[in-house]
Amino acid sequence: QVHLQESGPGLVKPSETLSLTCTISGGSISNYYWSWIRQPPGKGLEWIGYIYYSGSTNYNPSLKSRVTISVDTSKNQFSLKLTSVTAADTAVYYCARESGGGSYEEWGQGTLVTVSS
Amino acid sequence: EIVLTQSPGTLSLSPGERATLSCRASQSVGSSYLAWYQQKPGQAPRLLIYGASSRATGIPDRFSGSGSGTDFTLTISRLEPEDFAVYYCQQYGSSPYTFGQGAKLEIK
């Protein structure tokens, strides 16, 4: 049973960079697409982007100028960097594994990141 | 991008009743790449349906999905107490992937 776990700072200052890592256990990072999805408190879900294990990426145009998703196959991890954050970036950030072509059957538990000085 | 609009925003029903949730897309969803998720407070979403009508692993058969093109439906045939939650549709037929705004299923 694959398990995904997000990690990273829970508090980030405005204008700084949000950095999160998703560690995969119980399975290999190979041959899958891996995504980041976020959910502001009390609101709906927003797809941030995905990375294939080989390194190819696809980002949401609304965030593309500020987002980088990278992969480290040796550590079975992938990461998110979001630059120049504002309060609007406060959200629970989930990592997830694509299945069935773009739906998500495996999710991390989510981590709340608050942007505040 | 494809905008997904879910209706109703809130549905109040009793256990044992039938629930019907709608998801309408602003343009056709390619290859019926439409999924449904259930989310309970403090939890990650749980995949229920993918490909518009295929149940995910371990999902009870009281959950069913239908539709194509721009109109999709999630039906819960007979509500159990644990089914009261928020439901989201998601399209993955074109980038960027998008989600509906969510529909809350509450106990009447």
pLDDT tens, B3-12?
Answer: 999 999 999 9
Query: Any CB–CB contact under 8 A between A61 and chain B?
Result: yes
What does pLDDT average to in each consecutive run of 10 residues of chain B (108 residues)?
A: 97 98 96 95 97 96 97 97 98 97 97
Count of C-beta atoms within a 10 Å radius of residue B78: 12
Cβ-based contacts of A58 with chain B (< 8 Å) = 95
Query: Any CB–CB contact under 8 A between B65 and chain A?
Result: no
Name the residue facing B92 among A62, A101, A107 (closest C-beta): A101
Query: In angstroms, what separates the C-alpha of B67 from chain A's closest C-alpha?
Result: 17
Q: What is the H or E stretch that residue B84 is in?
A: none
pLDDT(A13) > 80: yes
- Give the Cα separation of B39 and B99 in Å (integer): 13
pLDDT(A30) > 90: yes
Query: What dihedral angle (degrees, nearest 10) is formed by the CA atoms of B96, A78, B38, B5?
Result: -10
For residue B92, give Cα distances in angstroms to B16, B80, B99, B100.
32, 29, 9, 12
